[in-house]
Amino acid sequence: MTDFSQFVPAHIRSLGGYTPGKSPRQAQRESHVNCIKMASNENPWGPSPKAVAAMQAVLNDCNIYPDNDSSDLRDALANRHGVQPDQIVLTAGSTSLLGIIARTLLAPGLNAVTSERSFIVYPIATQAAGGQLIQVPMRRDSFDLKAVAAAVDGNTRIIYVSNPNNPTGTLVAAPDLDGFLDKLPEHVILILDEAYYDFARHFATQRGLDYSHSLQYVNQGRKVVVLRTFSKTHGLAGVRVGYGIGPAELMSYFARMRTTFSVSAPAQAAALAALQDEAHVQKALVNNAEQAERLGESLRELGYEPVPTWANFLYCELGEDAASVAERLQAEGVIIRPLGPWGAATAIRVTIGTPEQNAIFLKAFKRVMERSMVK
């Protein structure tokens, strides 16, 4: 029998795959109860009805390849963000773009730098490109920018900053990023991952904080690529649409690395329609802000200290094995995310849902943790 590992480079053989949050269907098969999913930071209100109608309208034309450049959507995004269309690249989700960025900029002998307990795709994308990922310790559950800067060496090509950070929900304020960017050496590109931008901007307005200067960096010609997605406030995680904004020349290299026709026609139509439905986005933002406060307070009343969030999820240290807690919660009909793969074996991440979903979670969580204390 052929040993196929001989054909595969060592950095691919040792690559760990991405483990997604369980789907309700999978959890229901395992636990034999109906489950709600509060594990993957999806919009609990679903997609905009306008986006659904737009997808339905193009289904009869799905025998035709989609626009490879997503021209209409790219033009709409360029207009919205005040940049040129050639500064935007659209891909099948921002995770796909992370892989493209790593394959374009990294190679064996080169490295990227980020924080520990940050987005789980950063190590996968980096290793798949043959690069090394350097992860520095956090400070108060957030990026320690001084430590990140100190880890940069002559072989560093990328710094990943998730802002807000997934899974801790913490934020780096704009003035701090301004100073950090000013000190980066010429051979380093900052990948500023703003997947949760809308939530953070909403919280920042409420809390009086200066959140993001990311598009100013782009317009100033800085070595920055900003990542955004339609998976969160727009509720389109299932159709996969993400994009990057950055220097036109750099984006042209990323565009060459895309899979041809990677953003489907229904996905392009949905995203374009979703941009026009501000009311749907606002509904998600208002619910998230209200429920983040209520969910956090309820957890504190139970004796836990969730980290104040700037996104649509809560990070909470439990003081015991989180995977076991997640299994017991699943048996109660609630799917959450234990954070062992992030190096936080006693912490969970729970998506902020509708008031009804959050009530179900809290009732189940209280029941599960009370049983744990009895044991």
Q: What's the CA gap between 79 and 111, in Å, rounded? A: 34
Share of the chain above pLDDT 70, in %: 99
Give the pLDDT score at 102.
98
State CA 184 to chain mean position distance: 24
Give the pLDDT score at 173.
97
Give the pLDDT score at 52.
98
Residue 372 pLDDT greater than 70, yes or no = no
Give the pLDDT score at 74.
98
Confidence of residue 211 (pLDDT cuts 50, 70, 90): very high
Residue 156 pLDDT greater than 90, yes or no = yes
Q: What's the CA gap between 327 and 321, in Å, rounded? A: 10
Give the pLDDT score at 306.
98
- Residue pair 247/223 in contact (Cβ under 8 Å)? The answer is yes
- Residue pair 359/44 in contact (Cβ under 8 Å)? The answer is no
Q: Give me the residue spans of the domains in the chain.
A: 4-46+279-374, 49-277
Q: What's the CA gap between 277 and 285, in Å, rounded? A: 13
pLDDT, tens only, 67-77: 999 999 999 99
Share of the chain above pLDDT 90, in %: 89
Confidence of residue 286 (pLDDT cuts 50, 70, 90): very high
- Residue pair 5/243 in contact (Cβ under 8 Å)? The answer is no
Residue 256, Cβ density class (10 Å: 0-12 exposed, 13-18 middle, ≥19 buried):
exposed
Confidence of residue 64 (pLDDT cuts 50, 70, 90): very high
Q: What share of the chain is helix, strand, coil (3-state, %, to 5)?
A: 45, 15, 40
Residue 183 pLDDT greater than 90, yes or no = yes
Query: To the nearest whole number, what is the mean pLDDT of the chain?
Result: 95
Give the pLDDT score at 174.
98
pLDDT, tens only, 318-345: 999 999 999 999 999 999 999 999 999 9
Instruction: Locate 255 and state its tokens.
Output: 């565009």
218 sits in which H/E element:
helix 214-219
- Residue pair 151/136 in contact (Cβ under 8 Å)? The answer is yes
Angle at 190 between CA 186 and CA 195, to 5 degrees: 170
Confidence of residue 348 (pLDDT cuts 50, 70, 90): very high
Confidence of residue 253 (pLDDT cuts 50, 70, 90): very high
- Residue pair 316/305 in contact (Cβ under 8 Å)? The answer is yes
Q: What's the CA gap between 199 and 41, in Å, rounded? A: 12
- Ranges 26-30, 233-237, 294-298: which has the least confidence: 26-30
Same fold flag, 4-46+279-374 and 49-277: no
Give the pLDDT score at 16.
76
Q: What's the CA gap between 140 and 168, in Å, rounded? A: 10
Q: What's the CA gap between 236 and 51, in Å, rounded? A: 9
Q: What's the CA gap between 119 and 214, in Å, rounded? A: 19
Residue 242 pLDDT greater than 90, yes or no = yes
Half-sphere exposure of 77 (CA within 13 A, CB side): 28
Question: Mean pLDDT throughout 104-116?
Answer: 98
Residue 18 pLDDT greater than 80, yes or no = no
Q: Rounded to whole angstroms, what are the CA distances from 27 to 34, 37, 88?
A: 8, 9, 38
Angle at 205 between CA 204 and CA 207, to 5 degrees: 60
Q: Which fold would CATH assign to domain 49-277?
A: Aspartate Aminotransferase; domain 2 (3.40.640)
Give the pLDDT score at 20.
73
Give the pLDDT score at 373.
61
Question: Mean pLDDT throughout 273-302?
Answer: 97
Residue 9 pLDDT greater than 70, yes or no = yes
How is domain 4-46+279-374 classified at the architecture level of CATH? Answer: Alpha-Beta Complex (3.90)
Confidence of residue 10 (pLDDT cuts 50, 70, 90): confident
Confidence of residue 313 (pLDDT cuts 50, 70, 90): very high
Give the pLDDT score at 355.
97
User: What is the β-pairing status of strands 224-229 and 242-245?
Assistant: antiparallel
